[in-house]
Amino acid sequence: MEWRDEGALLSVRPHGESAAIIEVFTEEHGRHAGVVRGGASRRIAPLLQPGAQVQVTWRARLDDHLGIFTVEPLRARAALLSDPLALAGLNAVCAMLRVALAEREPHPVLHAATMPLLDALDAGTDWPPAYLRWELLLLEEIGFGLDLATCAVTGSRDDLIYVSPKSGRAVSRQGAGDWASRLLPLPQVLLGQGPASAREIAEALALTGHFLNRELGPMLNGRPLPEARARLIDRLARRA
């Protein structure tokens, strides 16, 4: 068994005396793990950093084996290592991909959105709104996209200020009625309205986090979402 693909490196852990096991989010083969021989050596280890863009060749005797990766570095994205907020963003992306995606299941749309986000993190541009859009897409990819276009009760497009914690649909002030206290607040940044401030982004991520927690619950076995995501939200909130 053999294939060749390109993607972003998500994690690295030691394997034996000199090897490493890496996970790569690839375009055609999804989140895929494999062994890199000599991956813990001084020559190769510096190249195996989370967020790095790599081309990998995977080989195994059988398809269900862990297999061996040969790695060709394409882009290090090393600049973000000196930016604590961007590093927090990178760690959140890698952690969420690892817990949300089934191994070896392709997600080409999510992959196409992830690579520009990693580039924006590395470039130091205004990437938090892009991260928020990425989490919305991640929700869609795991089967639960939010519907914020119209009020679930009245069908109106106006004055949408709540979200149903069950259906993920928007609710207007008028449509909420006596149920308002049971609904989640809808940050206007999710509607493309208002400033995309750090506080607005953090509030919007609290909303996406509610649904991510619920949808990923069976895989998390009662554990919370990755701590890396919580650290990112904390840094964004402190920037407000």
pLDDT tens for 168-190 read: 999 999 999 999 999 999 999 99
The pairing of strands 2-15 and 160-163 is unpaired
Name which of 190, 156, 194 is nearest 176 in CA terms. 156
Residues of the chain with pLDDT under 50: none
d(CA 23, CA 50): 9
Quick one: pLDDT at residue 240? 62
What is the predicted pLDDT for the residue at 30? 97
Find all residues with CB under 8 Å of 211, minimum gap 6, and list them: 139, 144, 146, 168
Give buried/exposed letters for 77-105 (b at 16+ CB in 10 A, else e): beebeeeebbbbbbbbbbbbbbebbeeee
Q: How far apart are CA 31 and CA 25, in angstroms?
A: 4
Buried b (16+ CB within 10 A) or exposed e, 48-67: bbbbbbbebebebeeeeeeb
177, two tokens: 């009625």
State the Cα–Cα distance between residues 8 and 207, nearest whole angstrom: 27
pLDDT for res 195: 65
Contacts of 193 (CB under 8 A, 6+ apart): none
Q: Where are the extended beta strands (E) located within 66-225?
A: 68-75, 160-163, 170-172, 184-185
- pTM score, whole prediction: 0.93
Q: How far apart are CA 185 and CA 164, in angstroms?
A: 9
Please give the DSSP secondary-structure letter assigned to residue 51.
T
Question: Residue 113 belongs to what H/E stretch?
Answer: helix 108-123
Alpha carbon of 110 to those of 54, 113, 114, 184, 233: distances in Å?
17, 5, 6, 26, 21
Tell me the C-alpha to C-alpha distance, in Å, between residue 77 and each of 24, 28, 126: 15, 22, 16
pLDDT for residue 194: 60
Tell me, what amino acid is at 134? W
- Quote the tokens at residue 178: 């006596």
- Residue 60 corresponds to which tokens in the numbers above? 């195994």
Instruction: Locate 81 and state its tokens.
Output: 């290592």
Nearest partner of 47 among 85, 92, 9, judged by Cα: 9
Helix (H, G, I), strand (E, B) or coil at 105: coil
